[in-house]
Structure 1
Amino acid sequence: MIQEVFSNIMRFYDYLLKRTDARVRDYPLMQSPIQMTLILLSYVFLVLYVGPRYMANRKPYDLKAPMVIYNFCMVFFNAYIVYEFMMSGWATTFTWRCDLIDVSTSPQTLRMIRVAWLFYFSKYIELLDTVFFVLRKKHSQVTFLHIFHHSFMPWSWWWGITLTPAGGMGCFHAMVNAMVHVIMYTYYGLSAAGPLFQKYLWWKKYMTAIQLTQFIVVSVHISQYYFMEDCEYQVPIFIHLIWIYGMFFFILFSNFWIQAYVKGKRLPVKSEGKPKQNGNANGTEAATLANGTHLDNGTVHYTNGFVVNGKVKEV
């Protein structure tokens, strides 16, 4: 029985290697699913087990400068990805409706394949988001949703560009996601830069609205497939997965929006003249706001959280 299962796995593995699009076979991390799976499993192990234990008896690292550099590098990188997606078809030859997978080796197609791989590779760089959380002891932000999103995205995208590197309508969500990341990392970069830039972050609340808009736009675009009389997209399973993924995260982010901005209390938590859980060791208390901002000893910090029964719940 075990031998038969192993034999079937090996047959599928051989089939997969033969099925890998020749146009991406020489790109890094594209030779086998084993490499990227090991990287992502190591990521989960490090941020959930090794990192918290390493930081248990250490003070949070001051990573202001690395975070500012990292976030603004991601702004420029994602802006470049958006530009390349546009020039590779979305602003030139695509119809924004039933755009099929291009199997040619034309310069524009190869350009689309290259930017699809760059988007895929950017997901590995984004794993540093979690590393910063761990080293700064922001363990409450390393949630299941955060880990799932950061590990599942590169894993699923490996299959996407292995089988459909010039994905046509199936790569629209990548371009939209990169657009959103330009905005997100701009916000994170300004936030990491310190109190001097806090006055420019009044639009924090709209970050969630931008995310929700992303999932709506992607879902509406991909839903066209189900209403077209004639759309022979070559690998329709990716259409279904993109739609499911968009709706799944729309529900999760909608729940956050409701908890944070509809049900959340927007007034500071009243102090009682004694040390609080979120105060410092000498009894200085922190005022916590429902919009995820808290003031600790006069310093403003930005988190992704909402107030429930007077306590901040971070996501």
Structure 2
Amino acid sequence: MEALSRLVEGYHDLMDNKSDQRVKDWFLMSSPFPTLAICLTYVFTVKVLGPKLMENRKPMELKKVLIFYNLFQVLFSIWLFRESLKSGWFSTYSFRCQPVDYSRSPEAMRTVHGCWWYYFSKFTEFFDTIFFVMRKKFDHVSKLHVIHHGIMPMSVWFGVKFTPGGHSTFFGMLNTFVHIIMYSYYLLAALGPKVQKYLWWKKYLTALQMVQFVLVFLHAFQLLFIDCDYPRAFVWWIGMHAVLFYYLFSDFYKQAYLKKAKRNKASVKVEADSIKSETKDRMLPLLNGFGNGSALGDVRQRMAGAVASQ
């Protein structure tokens, strides 16, 4: 009981005294448990409840919904990326070491608001998976997809709660840029077959996401080797997330593109060998006939018979 009491006391001290007081009363910021509950509900919905509800139903036609949704995500990502630039990236922020500005200056508060909206955007991305379920594209609801979307709101919550600004926002800046390209791809794909035939660059989008995580990994862990007024705990928090997501995306890339290409190549070779073997089987009797003289003899006999009858 004493250990439990200390744990509860430590939790309240962390939430009330060591977190950023500017976001204390903001929506969903008082405690991590509402965000955790939403994330768990998402996982249950897309992996259990949704497939069960759609089991005996036809796939839903959501073309117009997908067009408007992906357009919204493109515009939302553009706005978030713009806010990250206004906060200081590529201007006043240092890529080497950027402490968090905990003041209430207009610039600092704009950054905090941008961080919260980035956190909120992770909930809107749940609809990526929900639409897959509604369209009965269950193969798209992969381990990578669910883990990535299910973890992100909880991960970003801690960033907004304790370090809304500074070094950690590098990840958000990169991520929103990638999402501009990603949701543009999805928007074009939603327009139909006439456009889809030009979308040959999907695998390069996955590669771009992998590059993103490598950059985040390097950017975060450099702080382990220099003096910087930035919490070491969040260096590990961000860096290890980058490692996890790089592993998941690289595994997906191997399964979806590299191994698939090998399977297709093997399938073509098997088909070519089969055709070659079948052709050989058909030609073999004829070749054997000419080889042992029987076919040639038959021809000579027929010619002799024809001459005799004349």
Q: Report TM bin, short chain.
A: 0.7 to 0.9
Distance verdict in 2 for CA 1:9–1:54, change over 3 Å: farther
Structure 1 residues 250, 74: CA separation in 2 closer, same or farther (over 3 Å shift)? same
Q: What are the equivalent positions in structure 2 for 1:125-204 lying under 5 Å apart?
A: 125-166=124-165, 168-204=166-202
Q: Report the 3-state secondary structure (helix = DSSP H, G, I; strand = E; otherwise coil) of the residue aligned with 2:104.
A: coil
Match for residue 247 of structure 2 among 234, 251, 255:
251
- Are the equivalent residues in 2 in contact too, given 1:89–1:108 (CA < 8 A)? no
Q: Paired residue for 2:10? A: 12
Judged with a 3 Å threshold, the aligned counterparts in structure 2 of structure 1 residues 140 and 260 are, in CA distance, closer, same or farther, namely: closer
| TM-superposed deviation, 1:26 | 3.0
Provide the TM-score with structure 1 as the length reference. Answer: 0.79
1:222-277 Cα distance to aligned partner (Å, 9 max, x none): 2321332x2231x111111211221222223223333333332375978xxxxxxx
Q: Stretches of 4+ moved more than 6 A in 1?
A: none
Residue 304 of structure 2 corresponds to none
State the match for 1:116 in structure 2: 115
Partner of 2:233: 237
- Of 242, 262, 281, which residue of structure 1 is paired with 2:258? 262
Do the aligned residues in 1 keep the contact of 2:144 with 2:252 (CA within 8 Å)? no
Once residues 218 and 242 of structure 1 are traced to their aligned partners in structure 2, the CA distance between those partners, rounded to angstroms, is: 8
Match of 2:250, SS?
A: helix
Whether 2:37 is the aligned partner of 1:41: answer no
Root-mean-square deviation over aligned CA pairs: 1.9
CA distance in 2, matches of 1:4, 1:35: 27
Bigger radius of gyration among the two:
2
Structure 1 stretches of 5 or more lacking a match? 271-315
Matching residue's letter, 1:118:
W
* Partners of 2:71 and 2:38 in 1: CA distance: 25
- Asked whether the 8 Å contact 1:219–1:247 carries over to 2, the reply is yes
Greater displacement, 20-29 / 5-14: 5-14
Alignment size in residue pairs: 265
Task: Tell me by how many angstroms 1:202 deviates.
Answer: 2.2
2:20 and 2:102 in contact (8 A); partners too: no
Are 2:210 and 1:212 equivalent residues in the alignment?
yes
Partner letter of residue 229 of structure 2? E
Between 1 and 2, higher relative CO (CA 8 Å, sep ≥ 6) is seen in 2
Read off the aligned partner of 2:10 and give its amino acid letter. F
Q: Would you tell me which structure has more strand in proportion to its own residues?
A: 1
Structure 2 vs 1, CA of residues 33 and 259 (structure 1 numbering), >3 Å: closer, same or farther? closer
Distance 1:100 1:132 in 2: 39
How high is the TM-score relative to the length of structure 2?
0.80
How much identity, in percent, do the aligned residues show? Answer: 44
Deviations 1:124-171 (A, max 9, x none): 1101111101111111222222221111111111111111112x1112
Q: What is the CA-CA distance between 1:213 and the residue it aligns to?
A: 1.4
Q: Map of 1:280-299 to 2, 5 A cutoff?
A: none
State the 1:79 CA deviation.
0.8
For the residues of structure 2 that align with 1:179 and 1:213, how far apart are their CA atoms? 12
Q: Quick one: distance in 2 between partners of 1:5 and 1:39?
A: 29
For 1:165, give the aligned amino acid: P
C-alpha distance 5-39 of structure 1, shift in aligned 2 (>3 A): farther
Output aligned runs, 1:299-314, within 5 Å. Answer: none
CA distance in 1, matches of 2:91, 2:27: 28
Q: Which runs of 5+ in 2 are unaligned?
A: 269-310
SS in 2 for 1:102: coil
Quote the Cα distance in structure 2 between the aligned partners of 1:219 and 1:117: 22
Matched to 2:52, the amino acid is R
> Structure 1: how far apart are the matches of 2:3 and 2:136?
43
The residue type equivalent to 2:186 in the other structure is: Y
Higher helix share: 2
Give the match's secondary structure for 2:220: helix
- Structure 1 residues 121 and 41, CA, compared in 2 at 3 Å: closer, same or farther? same
Amino acid at match of 2:184: T
Q: Using the alignment, how far apart are the partners of 2:42 and 2:171 within structure 1?
A: 24
